Amino acid sequence: MSRLAKNTIPFPSGTTVSFTDGTLTVKGPLGTLTKPVNPVVSITVSPDGVNVAPVGTTKLARALTGTFASHIRNMMKGVTEKYAKKLELQGIGYRVELQGKNLKFQVGFSHPVLMAVPAGVDALVEKNFITISGIDKEAVGQFAANVRAIKKPEPYKGKGIRYEGEYVRQKQGKKAAA
């Protein structure tokens, strides 16, 4: 079992946690998050914080105990402060614009690529930078990964969509025979 899951998870100020009928609900100043909980994990909410324990001694129960403890920490942090991922477009002629709830990419294809921004996630475009933010860490990370998958950075010129600060190793390419 995870050593972090053995400790009580304290509430940040302004957050309330409830667990009923296999569903965990975390409410905070920025919103509400809910998550269904696997029945092999037992969650108890007390005034000190939240405790997570396995039901039984199976390998799955012990593994999911740490996983759900991490999910609870992420949910508590998300309802108090937003998660954000920043992506950048690199390449001549590569651009992105926000049209309503859609992102319109021009990244070297013969057609523009439209991607709908999911509910609960905000997208902000500044020149060639896209900032994706929201209270659900999973939704923010998944949408950022989907955006990056449109045109991953290629290793010869480095063109594509990458996370801010991501390093792309450059390959040498072909040399002309003399």
Cβ proximity of 55 and 96 under 8 Å: no
The DSSP 8-state label assigned to residue 143 in this structure reads H
Among 73, 75, 77, residue whose Cα is nearest residue 8: 73
Alpha-carbon separation of residue 151 from 70, 72, 106, 156 (angstroms):
31, 33, 10, 14
Question: pLDDT band at residue 114, thresholds of 50, 70 and 90?
Answer: very high
Number of H helices, E strands in the chain: 3, 13
Report d(CA 95, CA 22) in Å as an integer: 44
Report d(CA 47, CA 51) in Å as an integer: 11
Question: pLDDT band at residue 173, thresholds of 50, 70 and 90?
Answer: confident
Tell whether the model's pLDDT for residue 133 goes beyond 90: yes
H-helix or E-strand spanning residue 146: helix 137-150
Tell whether the model's pLDDT for residue 20 goes beyond 70: yes
**Token digits of residue 143:** 């949408």
Of 4-8, 26-30, 155-159, 162-166, which range is least confident?
4-8
Residue 150 has phi, psi (to 5 degrees) of -60, -45
**Token digits of residue 52:** 């997570």
Q: What class does CATH assign to 3-78? A: alpha beta
H-helix or E-strand spanning residue 63: helix 59-78
pLDDT for position 1: 62
What is the share, in percent, of the chain residues with pLDDT greater than 90? 79
Tell whether the model's pLDDT for residue 176 goes beyond 80: no
CATH no. of 83-163: 3.90.930.12
Report d(CA 120, CA 111) in Å as an integer: 28
pLDDT tens figures, 49-67: 999 999 988 999 999 999 9
pTM summary value: 0.89
Please list the residues that pair with 88 across neighbouring strands: 129, 162
Among 162, 141, 38, 166, residue whose Cα is nearest residue 94: 162
Question: pLDDT band at residue 178, thresholds of 50, 70 and 90?
Answer: low
Domain with CATH 3.90.930.12 in the chain: 3-78, 83-163
- Report, in angstroms and rounded to the nearest whole number, the Rg of the chain calculated over CA atoms: 21
Of 140-144, 146-150, 155-159, which range is least confident?
155-159
